[in-house]
With several copies, the nearest count.
Chain A
Amino acid sequence: MSARLVPPGARELPALTDLRLEVRAFLADQVAAGAFVPHVDTWLTRWDRDFTRELGRRGWLGMVIPTEYGGQGRTYLERFVVTEELLVVGAPVAAHWIAERQIGPSLLRYGTEEQKQAFLPGISRGEVVFGIGMSEPDSGSDLASVRTRAERVDGGWRLTGTKVWTSGAHEADAFFALARSAPLDPAHRHEGLSQFIVDLRAPGVTIRPIISMGGDHHFNEVHLDGVLIPDERVLGEVGQGWSQVSSELAYERSGPERVLSTFQLLAAAAQAMDDGRLPTDPGLGRHVARVAALHHMSFAVSTALEHHEDADTAAAVVKVLGTTGEGDIADYVDTLTASGWALDEELDTLLHAAILQRPGFTLRGGTNEILRGVIARGLGMR
């Protein structure tokens, strides 16, 4: 046991900073040109295929995909700074988010050569858009309870079941679906699961919107009615779906999108305090400090992942603190804001969006209750 949950820090060197500044300058130009309006939680809510393709053209997609598959062959650390810069400016990155974060790395690790050739170049160009199909009705945080069935048929599998909370499925080309390829053994619930690459335009796929409480359509129910998946679209090993999915969790949980979803609101609040539209209050400094510390912590985790060190617990720490902080920023700015006092369109728009998105921050990708259990396990308590 060690009380040290998070790997030692590292200092960013000029080669990384130069990349950061290059991305930052491009994004400032884009904002100035009106190519996008900065917003909150854009990795879920702002979908722009043109912008995504432009990033691909500039070499900022497929960052960790080797060049032989059309990627950039760069490091997780370089991807980290690109990701941070995209998020803080509130750029529309939803279209490539899932592919860039987890589909690409999963294909690299578990995909066949044919699968890599089929998908990675398109992902790196921002042309192939992926979703992810994990959750099911009533599964919640208990992913092992998925009930989507994969039945063996000649030359492949037939998938039947329903996936929910599939963000962007109505716009995406394909998704990874976790399904039960062998009957449930209650004593070994994590066995008998497999991952499949599903073409979302295949026969038998029906996509229905789930409208969020603010009236927006980001999520979907994806019904799979005997969808035929050829053998060459099984990802990795049949029956190893659980361990494949689990191995990606540190990447999924420790990224800057668990810290920066409301950064544009924080920045607008800093401006409003400077302008006298919000009262000066030490809470701003407190939140800025936490974001800065999480930036360091998230970077430390990326460094560890780059070195192939185990960082599951550290990733859980980043996600718990980061997503809590994202939501606290929304609530904090809300407590400073008086209705009827002054009209601040930009701040109001960001604040309302942040409040409406907030409940998801500490639920998606593993609830904070589950993750605090993961941390307790990392501390040797379970």
Chain B
Amino acid sequence: MTDLRDLAEPTTPDPDLVGVLTDLFADYRATRATPTAVVDLDRDLWQRLEQLGMTRLTGRESSGGSGGGWVDAAALLGLAAAAAAPVPLAEHDLLGGWLLEAAGLPNDGGLRTVCRPDPSGVALNVTWARDASRIVALWEDRDQWRVADVPIDRVAIEERRNLAGEPSDTVEFDLDDLENGTVVAHEIGEQFHLRGALARSAQVVGAMERVVEVVLAHVREREQFGRPIGRFQAVQHLVADIASETALARAATDAAVARAAASEWRDPGMLFAVGVAKSCVGHAASVVVRGAHQALGAIGTTLEHELHTLTRPILARRSEYGSLQDWDETLTALASSAGHDRLWTLITTGRAKPSSGQRPPHDNA
């Protein structure tokens, strides 16, 4: 019989890492304050993560990172999101740290966020901008992509908040600061949107898995008409549906992460793989958020309940790095370009044409 190891490679994160993080976030959950409508950076948690090397998990060891890959990083993002931890792991490490390395710029480890300013130097909805020491900017300048690592005191910040109540600021750069950006490879500029979209997918899936747990605990305990509401067939089906959609979103996200990790993002099928994850995650979010709030009832809409600390970020993040509609349109374009004879090839390899590269639309996250 064929050796199974030649056929398929499991893509699971380092169990030790998962163990450490599970304990850390369990502890965080047990000691955190009651939920609030406005959510600010938790610097204590950030320091604990920093001490464990988690804030620069994917950075090269030569530049002070932990040398981890996307499989572990996606696990970290998911566990943090399940704990509704207000820390900019994606922005600081997977996007900002990566851009600095790509540009060969030094990284002092200070908290960073990232954005793509428009030609006038303005970037909208920059998460955690007000909390960063520097902001890593990426922009397209006459067919070249450039990166700059701009100190926070060189930008003007208009404080805003996203649906999750987190900082999501408007940042205005001094155009002088952008003028001398470091040129990076073209692929860096194209990958940024994909990496951001996949990081968001991993976060949303992690939060949705926690939502399923919260819902299950509730429907087992809460009684109505003399029995736990989880005994009602309508509630069982509703919970089965949110758990199933979450599982599908997980499968799509894991597959994209595995492909990214195996190819170090060089696989030309990454656009399709990320699109599949973003689409499945985004549609799952509709089902999961609606279903969870319906199952929890009025209590789930109160400020003190955990549920909204998950559902609000789920919806906030599914619209980052492209709307759900944008990604469905991207997939539609890929699918119709693949046409009848190559649709299955697209699904199995991510390539619509024998040699295709395609940029995502609206990729100005």
Contact = CB atoms under 8 A, between A and B. Distances in A.
Note whether A and B contact each other (Cβ less than 8 A).
yes
Interface of A: 1, 3-6, 8-13, 15-16, 20, 73-75, 77-78, 88-89, 135, 138, 140-142, 164-165, 210-215, 263, 266-268, 270-271, 273-274, 279-286, 288-297, 299-300, 303, 306-307, 314, 317, 320-321, 327, 331, 334-343, 352, 355-356, 358-360, 362-364, 367-369, 372-373, 375-376, 379-382
A231 to B, nearest CB: 33
A339 B125 contact: yes
B332 interface: yes
Contacts of A286: 279, 283, 328, 331
A300 B11 CA distance: 11
Contact of B328 (A214, A283, A297, A367): A283
A362 B319 CA distance: 24
B30 interface: no
Nearest to A345: B160
B355 to A, nearest CB: 17
B2 A293 contact: no
B282 interface: yes
9 contacts: A11-B262, A210-B302, A214-B37, A267-B340, A289-B275, A292-B255, A338-B323, A360-B298, A379-B216
Contacts, number: 332
Contacts of B245: 321
Given A75-B4, A290-B280, A360-B298, 20 more contacts: A11-B255, A12-B8, A138-B223, A140-B222, A271-B340, A271-B341, A279-B329, A286-B331, A288-B332, A289-B279, A295-B348, A296-B252, A320-B244, A340-B116, A340-B320, A358-B293, A359-B293, A372-B241, A373-B236, A376-B240
A195 to B, nearest CB: 22
B339 A271 contact: yes
Nearest to A290: B280
A6 B254 CA distance: 12
Contacts of B289: 331
B301 A213 contact: yes
Contacts of B116: 340
Contacts of B48: none
A197 B112 CA distance: 58
Nearest to A266: B343
B175 to A, nearest CB: 19
Given A274-B339, A279-B325, A303 B10 contact: yes
The secondary structure that dominates the B interface is helix
B329 A285 contact: yes
Contacts of A89: 344
A78 B240 contact: no
Contacts of A210: 302
B294 A367 contact: yes
Contacts of A372: 234, 236-237, 240-241
Given A16-B7, A214-B37, A285-B335, A363 B297 contact: yes
B55 interface: no
Interface in B2-29: 2, 4, 6-12
A11 B290 CA distance: 32
Interface of B: 1-2, 4, 6-12, 36-38, 115-116, 123-126, 162-163, 165, 168, 170, 209-210, 212-213, 216, 219-220, 222-225, 230-237, 239-241, 243-252, 254-255, 258-259, 262, 272, 275-277, 279-280, 282-283, 286, 289-290, 293-294, 297-298, 300-305, 307-308, 312, 315-316, 319-341, 343-344, 346-348, 362, 364-365
Given A140-B297, A288-B335, A379 B240 contact: yes
Contacts of A299: 8
Nearest to A16: B7
Contacts of A281: 325, 332
Contacts of B315: 334, 355
A77 B302 contact: no
Shortest 4 CB-CB contacts between residues of A and residues of B: A215-B37, A285-B331, A359-B293, A282-B328
B117 to A, nearest CB: 11
Contacts of B11: 8-11
Contact of B124 (A5, A140, A340): A340
Nearest to A325: B248
B221 to A, nearest CB: 11
Contacts of B243: 3, 5, 317, 375, 379
A74 B216 CA distance: 40
B29 to A, nearest CB: 15
A285 B283 CA distance: 12
B344 A13 contact: no
